[in-house]
Amino acid sequence: MTTDSSNAAKPRAASGQAMWGGRFSDKPAELMQAINVSISFDRRLASQDLEGSRAHAAMLQNTGVISSEDAAAIQKGLGAIGEEISAGVFPFREEFEDIHMNVEARLHELIGPAAGRLHTARSRNDQVALDFRMWVREACDRTHVQIRALQKALLAKAEPHATTLMPGFTHLQPAQPVTFGHHLMAYVEMFGRDASRFADARVRMNESPLGAAALAGSPFPIDRHQTAKALGFDRPAANSLDAVADRDFALESLAAASITSIHLSRLAEEIVIWMTPQFGFVTLTDAFTTGSSIMPQKKNPDAAELVRAKAGRLLGSFTQLAVVMKGLPLTYSKDMQEDKVPTFEAFDALELSLRAMAGMVTDLEPNRDRMGAAAGAGFSTATDLADWLVRQLGLPFREAHHITGAAVKRAEQIGCDLPDLPLAELQVLEPRITHDVYKVLTPQASVASRMSYGGTAPDQVRVQIQRWKEILA
């Protein structure tokens, strides 16, 4: 199956039709060129394009499709191109539209007609599917590492604060006392699920489209298993149509990225709230805050606000690609050129947000006194009173709930908090209440009592911290 390189057609480097112009008698209009060219953004796929081409050339040689001499020249030329790109001297040119044609044209300039053998048994359709899939796979790997780094930062901050009291909220109203360590561990769990989503997506995307060619496969005796293995894939994609048409690997990764950004945004929002003078729960140093151009007293949590805002960009990227793909028939349509920019932008924003949040978590310091005082406010131990009535007096919970509500109302009327409500007032509501009830009405007692698995009791918080230390080790 080896062919003679002397008969290979030479690319027309002077025209916008450089690699596909045989059917055409004139070059594209300037507007067509402007809308069609993608090298301004798909140049980010250069390393993946070179890696795929090296694997493809090696396979073509091993299967006898191209000669050893041509394969050696191709590999040498691809190596030189890689060095040019690394050195920042590679001549990216719009006339060659995309990264694939730019590499092939430069390869022809470096090694001559043998370069024309490289594209045997492949198409730009499976080539871009391969490059983009490899890029997304690497982005998922990077993101997974960054999520783990954020989890470790949260663990390091949670451990010394396993006993630090703070209010737990529902509806942003004081609900029950919890600990700051317990609160941070909630985000460790969230980001753990995020990491697992990227890991799951990676498993599904790890099939190689290379060799599917334009859409129908190849008549050459290629070995798709060889290229798949060389490029770190588990297997070649089993259907050539699906291989070039599939972008759900990007959609699934963007969905995982969007959910992660939502979790980041929720934590960012809490940091913003906690830093207000009205809360005063935490402080950030100058490293993650900025000032005002007019108000000298201001110390703004801009890093948290920007992380919160970037969630919108990620959600928009997922929506953008979903809308691009939703109406496309099989297999490849030029619409799919619009898959890269939103994906690149989304992962850029996510990776920056993850690093910034890990930095903020490490940087922030809780105000123990302010948090502790707030932990007991708003009748936050009312549920503990109801639980005591059930445990000690055997009341049905609904009856205990009603008595507790009446106790809260009476405390409001006389202007005190629940732990300060006189025993006589409580006994008006239920004569069997004793002074022992006050043992459960402090925030410390409330927190210590929540010993159920996953609860806020410091011992339980430490159990979860240790569990995650072992997972992340």
Q: Which of 250, 259, 257 lies closest to 341, judged by CA? A: 250
Q: Is the pLDDT of residue 5 over 90?
A: no
The answer to whether residue 171 is catalytic is: yes
Q: What is the pTM of this model?
A: 0.91
102, 259 contact by CB (below 8 A) = no
Mean pLDDT of the region 28-35: 80
Three-state DSSP class for 207? strand
The type of residue at 447 is V
Mean pLDDT of the region 268-276: 97
Of the candidates 40, 196, 292, 333, the residue annotated as catalytic is: 292
Distance CA 253, CA 317 (A): 11
Proportion of the chain above pLDDT 90, given as a percent = 90
Of the candidates 171, 293, 435, 452, the residue annotated as catalytic is: 171
pLDDT tier for residue 210 given thresholds of 50, 70 and 90:
very high
The answer to whether residue 196 is catalytic is: no
pLDDT tier for residue 29 given thresholds of 50, 70 and 90:
confident
Tell me the pLDDT tens digit for each residue of 118-137.
999 999 999 999 999 999 99
Give me the residue label for tokens 């060095």. 83
Tell me the pLDDT tens digit for each residue of 161-173.
999 999 999 999 9
End-to-end CA distance of the chain: 52
Mean pLDDT of the region 229-233: 98
Tell me the pLDDT tens digit for each residue of 59-112.
999 999 999 999 999 999 999 999 999 999 999 999 999 999 999 999 999 999
Tell me the pLDDT tens digit for each residue of 419-436.
999 999 999 999 999 999
Three-state DSSP class for 173? strand
Partner residues linked to 290 by β-bridges: 300
Ramachandran quadrant class, 88 (left: phi over 0; alpha: psi -120 to 50; beta: rest): left
Ramachandran quadrant class, 379 (left: phi over 0; alpha: psi -120 to 50; beta: rest): left
Q: What is the DSSP letter of 328?
A: P
Q: Which of 303, 301, 264 lies closest to 281, judged by CA? A: 301
Pairing of the two strands 235-236 and 207-208: parallel
